[in-house]
């Protein structure tokens, strides 16, 4: 039996050519060639093919992990949105508006400590104090005053609701 001949290690140029060949042939063809197909790889080329296959598997695992985490995050966000929508619907069913929810922290007048009231003033939604006659709406910084006759009518409505 002839003695095995030790070949010099593959050069970087040879390894680059092999990687190009592996890419062209595809993963399954390289796997078959490594594990004894029609034209099996041997020596350094076989080692390079196994390393190339291993790197491809690692890249697939990383890609799968990223996809899993993205899908999990998306599902969590969808569940959170559904819960918030449900809570928002339940709050809306009780007669509260989203504007009322925003006023929860400041539902009293800063000057006289009376409860703030929400009214419809000719199509504008105003929030303010009947006692101080200071009214504002979303997006407006400076308060305004209602005309005296509107304010008297509003006080009469509030007084009649209080007697009911």
Q: What is the pLDDT of residue 57?
A: 92
**Greatest pairwise CA separation for the chain in angstroms:** 119
pTM of the predicted structure, to 2 decimals: 0.43
Give 95-122 pLDDT, tens digit per residue: 444 444 444 446 888 888 888 888 887 7
- Signed CA dihedral, 34, 37, 43, 45: sign only: negative
Instruction: Give the percent of the chain with pLDDT over 70.
Output: 79
Q: What is the phi/psi pair of residue 64, to 5°? A: -65, -40
Does 1 score more than 60 pLDDT?
no
Average pLDDT over residues 32-42: 77
Most confident of 5-19, 31-45, 123-137: 123-137
Residue 128: closest CA among 162, 91, 155: 155
Residue ranges of the domains in the chain?
12-91, 98-163
Q: In this structure, what is the dihedral angle of CA atoms 14, 18, 24, 27, given to the nearest 10 degrees? A: -170
Residue 25: closest CA among 51, 49, 1: 49
- Report the chain's mean pLDDT, rounded to a whole number: 79
Measure the CA–CA gap between 55 and 72, rounded to whole angstroms.
Answer: 26
Q: For 18-22, 86-90, 118-122, 143-147, which range has the lowest pLDDT when averaged over its residues?
A: 86-90
Give 38-75 pLDDT, tens digit per residue: 677 778 888 888 899 999 999 999 999 999 989 889 98
Q: Crossing angle of helices 43-93/12-25, nearest 10°? A: 60
Does 164 score more than 50 pLDDT?
yes
Does 37 score more than 80 pLDDT?
no
Name the 3-class secondary structure at 109. Answer: coil
- C-alpha pair distances (Å), 44 with each of 2, 34, 88: 20, 11, 66
Residue 49: closest CA among 71, 21, 87, 77: 21
Higher pLDDT, residue 1 or 163: 163
Does 91 score more than 80 pLDDT?
no
């Amino acid at each position: 039996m002839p003695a095995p001949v030790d070949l010099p290690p593959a050069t970087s140029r040879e390894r680059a050519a092999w990687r190009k060949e592996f890419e062209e042939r595809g993963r399954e063809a390289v796997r078959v060639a490594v594990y004894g197909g029609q034209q099996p790889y041997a020596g350094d080329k076989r080692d390079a093919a196994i390393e190339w296959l291993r790197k491809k598997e690692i890249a697939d695992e990383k890609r799968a992990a990223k996809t899993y985490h993205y899908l999990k995050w998306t599902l969590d966000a969808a569940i959170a949105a559904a819960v918030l929508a449900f809570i928002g619907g339940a709050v809306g069913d009780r007669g509260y508006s989203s504007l009322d929810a925003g006023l929860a922290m400041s539902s009293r007048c800063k000057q006289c400590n009376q409860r703030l009231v929400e009214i419809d003033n000719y199509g504008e939604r105003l929030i303010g104090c009947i006692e101080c006659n200071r009214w504002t709406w979303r997006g407006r910084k400076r308060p305004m005053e209602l005309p005296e006759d509107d304010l008297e009518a509003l006080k009469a409505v509030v007084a009649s609701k209080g007697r009911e």
